[in-house]
Amino acid sequence: MEATLRRIADPLFRVAAVTPSMVRLYVVNDPEPNAFVAGGQNIFLNTGLLTGLDNVDELRAVIAHELGHITGGHLVRRVQALGGARGIAAIGMLGAAAAVAGGVPEASVAIAVGAGQAAQRSLLAYTRGEEAAADQAGLRYLAAAGGDPKAVLDVLRRFARQETLTGRFADPYAQSHPLWNERIAMLEEGVAALPAGPGPSADDDYWHARLVAKLDGFLDTPARTLRRFPASDDSDAAAMGRAIAWHRQPDAGRAREALDALIAERPDDAYLLDLEAQFLLEAGGAGRSRWRRASRCCSVASAGRRRC
C-alpha cells in the first residue's frame, strides 16, 4: 500500500517542486472519508477515503489538495491566525472584566460571549480562505501531473451528496471549509479551461485496485468483501480480496488456493509472497512458507540486479 501511494503521489510532488522524500504519507484506520495535513509535511489519508474513491485521479485530486496546504504554508499561517483570534477573545475578556468592575455584570456575559464568537468566526473565515486556495493549487498540480481535472469536481460532488444524504446543513459562516456548492462553483471554470490529460497508466490502475482490495479485505467483513468481489471478477485485485476474506473467515483451503493462483501468475511478486507468509503465520503454519524465496527476491532487488 505504501509503495502504491508513493507511485500515485510522487508525480504531484514533482510538479509542485517538492522533493517527494520530504513528504510523508500516513494511512489512518478510520472509516470517515477524510484527509488532512499535520505536523509539517505529513499527509494523512483515512482508510474510508482510500476505499471510497473510484479511481486513481480522484485519489490524486485529494492528495493534490492537501499538497496545496503544504506549498501554501498554511499550517504556519494558521498558527498566526489562531494567535489573532486569541487576541480578539482576550480583548473581549478585558471588556467583560471592565463591565463587572463598572457595576454592569449582566453586560460582561454578553461581551465575553460575543468576543468568543467573533474570534471563532475570524479563525473560520481564515481557514475557509485556505481551503479555497488549496483547491485552486490542487487543481493545477493534478492537471500538471497529467490527471483529469474533472476528478476534482467528482470528489467534491461525492462529498456534497454524502452531506445531503446525512441531512447535515450548516451555517456557512460557522464552517472551517467553504460549502460544497461554493467550492464546486469556484472550480468549474478552471476545470473547463484545462485539458483532460492522459490520466493514470494501466499499471497505476492495477496497483490502486490492489491497494483498495487489500484494505477492503482486511477492514470490512468477509461477507461484504466476497459480495464486493464476486467469482465472476477475475482481476488480480478481486482474487486478492477474496483470498483475504476466506483467510479471515477462516477458510484456509480456499484462501491458499486463491493466493496460489495469483502467485503462479506473478511468482516474483514479493507482496504476494509476503501475504502468503502472513496467512501461514496467522494459521500456525509459517514453516511451510515460501517467505525465504521472497526474502531472496527483495535482497536481490535492493542490490539493483533484479526487479522484484
Q: What is the pLDDT of residues 30-58, one digit of tens each?
A: 999 999 998 889 999 999 999 999 999 99
Q: How far apart are CA 145 and CA 9, in angstroms?
A: 10
What would the pLDDT profile of 271-305 be if each residue is shown by its tens digit? 999 999 999 999 887 666 554 454 545 554 444 44
For residue 189, give the C-alpha cell.
471554470
The answer to the question of residue 119 being in a domain is: no
Quick check: helix, strand or coil at residue 177?
A: coil
Residues 226 and 177 in one domain: no
Q: 178 with 229, same domain?
A: no
What is the residue-averaged pLDDT of the chain?
80
Instruction: Answer whether residue 214 is part of any domain.
Output: no
* pLDDT level of residue 128 (50, 70, 90 thresholds): low
Q: Are residues 156 and 228 in the same domain?
A: no
Same domain for 20 and 135, yes or no, is: yes
Residue with the larger pLDDT of the pair 78 and 22: 22
Residue 241 structural domain: 220-302
Cβ atoms of 86 and 119 closer than 8 Å:
yes
Asked if residue 200 is part of any domain, the answer here is: no
CA 82/CA 180 separation, integer angstroms = 24
Question: 165 and 56 share a domain?
Answer: yes
Mean local confidence (pLDDT), 183-200 = 90
| pTM for the whole structure | 0.76
Structurally, the chain folds into a number of domains equal to 2
161 and 264 housed in the same domain: no
